[in-house]
Amino acid sequence: MNRRNFIRDSAITAMSTAAFTKLPAGSPTKKFGQIRFGICTDLHRDIMHDAPARLSEFITEMNKANPDFIIQLGDFCRPVPKNQVIMDIWNKFSGPRYHVIGNHDTDGGFNTSDTLNFWQASARYYSFDANGFHFVILDGNEKNPSPSRAPGYARFISDEQLKWLSADLEKTSLPAIIFCHQGLDNDIGGIENATKCRTALERINEKHGFRKVQIVFSGHRHQDYHNVINGIHYVQVNSMSYYWLGEGYQHIRYNADIDKSHPQIKNTVPYTDALWALVEIDSRGLCKIMGRKSSFVGPSPVKLGMPEFALGYPVVPYVSNRKILLTKKPFEYTGNYTSSNI
């Protein structure tokens, strides 16, 4: 592997204290299960000309790494015949494969059932257990019934789904990890009722006296950051393919033929290599996120005139390596909000 492949632990030069929840000295701890899974998001087959090659590289590496499962967090591909190549590549992974539906996966007049059937996915929200952990997949694409809802794509989790989520978490005694396309840690650009969703998770933790809900993984924003809110970790996984800049920062990134066949690419800043992460949790509860590093194709957003922090977090061509110490100690409501970006 070259320098652009998985970043090794020895290459980690910085680590935010916000990424750790330390146990008091001498306090009793319960062992966690041990698990490894591959995670990717926002392939955007219907925009990127080289999406099949990006996904092939991920699947090849995952078959070598042999994790317990892989999962994609949405904006994968629409249910059209030309995208069967994406499903054929995805299905080459030798282990279990899971899907989260994104807002662009039904573009072109398709509905959720069309996409789930094309993916051969079980449901739009569901859960499963593996190696001593409980995993929950949410659908953040429900429509807010309020007449004052934000314009654009639906990004809401209904009371019905939240009721199911609370009941599902009540049933398990295992530490829970949640996946949703849109983030629950940011009301702007994430789930519209993110605060209500977080509160539901925090109530579960408080009711049961320990941090049953440990981590929430999301995509959608094509960024790279980690927030900790009231003891729950929220990890944003960068896109496999690009960041969307829009018409104000158009730039021809490849050549005239690609620009003609895939006209949306000039509105993006693509990454030279596909991005993803391998997540590993050991029996101590140490969660290692081993990310992938790349570079921009063409000029960076800053070189095109975009302020570095115009989007809150900088646009970067990598998924950060992170170490997060999970804990089963009693949940303590602090009301604090902290964030880190490595």
Q: Measure the CA–CA gap between 59 and 56, rounded to whole angstroms.
A: 5
The residue among 189 and 131 whose pLDDT is bigger is 131
Using 50, 70 and 90 to split pLDDT, how confident is the model at 30? low
The residue among 333 and 305 whose pLDDT is bigger is 305
Task: Express as a percent the part of the chain with pLDDT over 90.
Answer: 76
* Residue 24 pLDDT > 70: no
Q: How far is CA 296 from CA 23, 247, 316, 324, in A?
A: 39, 18, 8, 28
Q: Measure the CA–CA gap between 243 and 265, rounded to whole angstroms.
A: 10
Per-residue pLDDT reduced to its tens digit, 258-316: 999 999 999 999 999 999 999 999 999 999 999 999 999 999 999 999 998 887 889 99
Q: Rounded to two decimals, what is the model's pTM?
A: 0.88
- Residue 324, in any domain of the structure: yes
- Residue 16, in any domain of the structure: no
Number of domains in the chain: 1
Host domain of residue 136? 33-340
* Residue 150 pLDDT > 80: no
Give phi and psi for 162, each to the nearest 5. -65, -35
304 touches 193 (CB < 8 A): no
Q: Measure the CA–CA gap between 41 and 20, rounded to whole angstroms.
A: 24
| pLDDT (0 to 100) of residue 98 | 98
The mean pLDDT of 242-264, rounded to a whole number, is: 94
Per-residue pLDDT reduced to its tens digit, 78-91: 999 999 999 999 99
Task: Express as a percent the part of the chain with pLDDT over 70.
Answer: 87
- Residue 17, in any domain of the structure: no
The mean pLDDT of 193-201, rounded to a whole number, is: 94
- Residue 13, in any domain of the structure: no
Name the strand (E) or helix (H) holding 44.
Answer: none
- What six digits make up the tokens of 125? 């929200």
Tell me, what CATH number does 221's domain have? Answer: 3.60.21.10
| pLDDT (0 to 100) of residue 336 | 41
Mean pLDDT of the chain: 88
- Residue 119, in any domain of the structure: yes
- Residue 78, in any domain of the structure: yes
The mean pLDDT of 224-241, rounded to a whole number, is: 96
The mean pLDDT of 236-241, rounded to a whole number, is: 98
Per-residue pLDDT reduced to its tens digit, 177-186: 999 999 999 7
Q: Measure the CA–CA gap between 134 and 169, rounded to whole angstroms.
A: 8
Using 50, 70 and 90 to split pLDDT, how confident is the model at 17? very low
Q: How far is CA 165 from CA 180, 208, 250, in A?
A: 12, 15, 41
| pLDDT (0 to 100) of residue 331 | 58
The residue among 40 and 342 whose pLDDT is bigger is 40
* Residue 12 pLDDT > 70: no
Q: Which of 93-107, 142-156, 215-229 has the lowest mean pLDDT?
A: 142-156
The mean pLDDT of 147-175, rounded to a whole number, is: 91
- Residue 333, in any domain of the structure: yes
- Residue 231, in any domain of the structure: yes
Q: Measure the CA–CA gap between 111 and 109, rounded to whole angstroms.
A: 7
The mean pLDDT of 188-199, rounded to a whole number, is: 90
Using 50, 70 and 90 to split pLDDT, how confident is the model at 31? confident
